[in-house]
Structure 1
Amino acid sequence: MSEQPVVDIPADIAPPSKPALTFSAATRHWLPALILFLAIVVLWEAAVRTFSISSFIIPAPTKIVQALVAQWGALMQATAVTAGEILFGFLVSVAVGVALALVIVRFDWLGRALYPLVVLFQNVPKVALAPIFILWFGYGLVPKIGLILVIAFFPVTLSMLAGMQSVDNSLLALMNSVGAGPTEILLRIRVPHSLPSLMAGTKIAATLSVIGAIVGEFAGASDGLGYTIQFASTQLDTAQVFAALLLVSILGIAFYYAAEVLERAVVPWAPRFNQD
């Protein structure tokens, strides 16, 4: 048997390797946002001092930092509570959103009946549901997760539906011609094709989960950042309110970028916004 010749692939047609994220690339990625944030903080501090604005109305950034340091332990405990609610609620929202999308696409008659109800339910004011959930489920974790669910599942369902329904009709016709059934087409064609859209929807759901957790804590809670904001407001401690809001914002950023890291791992080929 003769040995097969080895063919060298020219460098100009070889697939390009994915560049590693270097320190300079990471700096370019975050530097504009950091500069803008620092400029806003400096202007904020200068405006409060120049116009002698009372800290009761708008505290200076230095006052917010002082409140953050003074209440560090309590704020970290509240942050941990809220982060747990966000995580559980987000996971439940993604699971329910994916399940609804699969049911709507797989069972045509049920999808035609279910989809309008999903859209109708999305128009219900979620703040009005918070007291009802407290009445039904008490003041524990369940009403917070329920409120996160009703707020965050819709973008997951809608994004996955858009991805599954955008499959090329010629590909569907080809699968039908080889005898593939609806379930096989769903699992082998529609679901993989919908992954980029689904991951985009999970990033939206991650930020909405933060809002749902805070609204749920406003309605009834004994701990968490929402409870801290509400309690500090009754004590007229505006600096602590802003400190808690800062931690809420950090949680939102953290969960958003965690979803983006998951997107890069699951669908590395998907197009995304590139700041470089």
Structure 2
Amino acid sequence: MKQSALSATQAPVRPAGVAERRRPGLGRRTAEAAEKSWRPLALLLVCFGAWWVIAATGTVESYLVPSPGATLDVILDKPGYLWQHSWVTTYETLIGFVIAVAVGILSAVLMAASPTVEKTLYPLLLFAQVVPKIAIAPLFVVWLGFGIAPKVLIAVLIAFFPVVISMVTGLKAVDPEMLQLSATMGARPWQTFLKIRFPASLPHLFSGLKVAVTLAVTGAVVGEFVGANEGLGYVILQANGNLDTPMLFAGLLVMSLIGVVLFALVEIAEKLLLPWHAGRRDTATTPTY
């Protein structure tokens, strides 16, 4: 009797008319994932079908648009060659992305903390963003040589802006009442930043990271276009110069695949690090009235 009374007192109390929505099972989550993914997959199949029809009917000459089969044969015939150059591009992309994230977050924190810093840096960041990177890439090659440095620098410059803008937006989007409550309770500025501002800005930051990581791939390839002897940009340039369109298309497909994989990894990291944000619909309470 005492045990049942104790259990009753420890039972969670829910507001009237509100029921807790349980997390769906594996089958339900699989069905939801299939529901979300079948449309883009269908569109992708339609695009490949159109590509195959154009190549099969001879609407466009094969030296301009190779068939999907010819492109796949190149990928299967030279996997080591493509893997070697793909790894170089991926390595440059990851280094540039990490540097862009670190510098971008630091700059965003400074801009959010000081209006003077924001007014000083923001025009410079905007100017650096609108300047075509392909136009200044040769300067980086002249200054830094033909090594990895100019590719990484271009990747940083391209990926830096989305990180800064998204982080600044997140830091400024904090509920003012939360900041007032924190100040009322005697929290120091650094405590308010760590406990309130920074966690609240993470959803915005990850939105910028998804954009930045795909742009970093573009930046690395642009750097390889200007001056390199390895990487997917080098492969595409060599294939273009030799009119080897199957290899050119293979390089483009592999480059796109790298961007998609990196985007997916950032999205997975978001779901793991921010379960309170990415999974809030699964754990929310549902009104029953």
| One-letter identity of the residue aligned with 2:237 | Q
Taking the TM superposition and a 5 Å limit, the aligned residue runs for 1:124-273 are 124-270=131-277
Q: Secondary structure at the match of 2:6?
A: coil
Contact 1:45 1:60 in 2 (8 A): yes
- The offset of 1:38, in angstroms, is 2.3
Q: Do the aligned partners of 1:48 and 1:60 also contact (CA within 8 Å) in 2?
A: yes
Cα RMSD of the aligned pairs, angstroms, is 2.3
1:16 aligns with 2:22: yes
| Residue 56 (str. 1) matches residue 84 (str. 2) | no
Length-normalised TM-score, structure 1: 0.90
* CA shift digits 1:204-257 (9 cap, x unpaired): 001101110110110111101110000110101011100110000100100101
State the Cα distance separating 1:23 from its structure 2 match.
4.6
1:76 — aligned with what?
83
Structure 1, 112-121 or 128-137: larger mean CA deviation: 112-121
Q: Give a deviation string over 1:73-110, Cα, whole Å, max 9, x none.
A: 21111111111111111111111111110111223332
1:269, distance to aligned residue in structure 2 (A): 2.8
8 Å Cα contact 2:111/2:118 also seen in 1: yes
Instruction: Provide the rounded CA distance (Å) in 1 between the counterparts of 2:49 and 2:118.
Output: 53
Given that residues 160 and 212 in structure 2 are in contact (C-alpha distance below 8 angstroms), is that contact kept between their aligned partners in structure 1?
yes
Higher relative contact order (CA 8 A, sep 6+): 2
| Equivalent position to 2:53, from 46, 64, 74 | 46
**Residue identity matched to 1:130:** A
Q: Is the 8 A contact 2:270 2:278 kept in 1?
A: no
CA distance in 2, matches of 1:29, 1:17: 18
CA contact (8 A) 1:64 1:243 kept: yes
Give the 3-state SS of the residue equivalent to 1:13 in structure 2.
strand
- Show CA shifts across 1:118-158 (max 9, x none): 22222222112211111111111111111011100111111
| TM-score, normalization by structure 2 | 0.86
Q: Following TM superposition, by how much is the alpha carbon of 1:176 offset from its aligned partner in structure 2, in angstroms?
A: 2.4
Shift of 1:28: 3.5
Q: 1:156 to 1:6 in 2, by over 3 A?
A: same
Partner of 2:6: 5
- Alpha-carbon distance, 1:111 to partner: 2.6
Q: Helix, strand or coil for the counterpart of 1:270? A: helix
Q: Residue 93 of structure 1 aligns with which residue?
A: 100
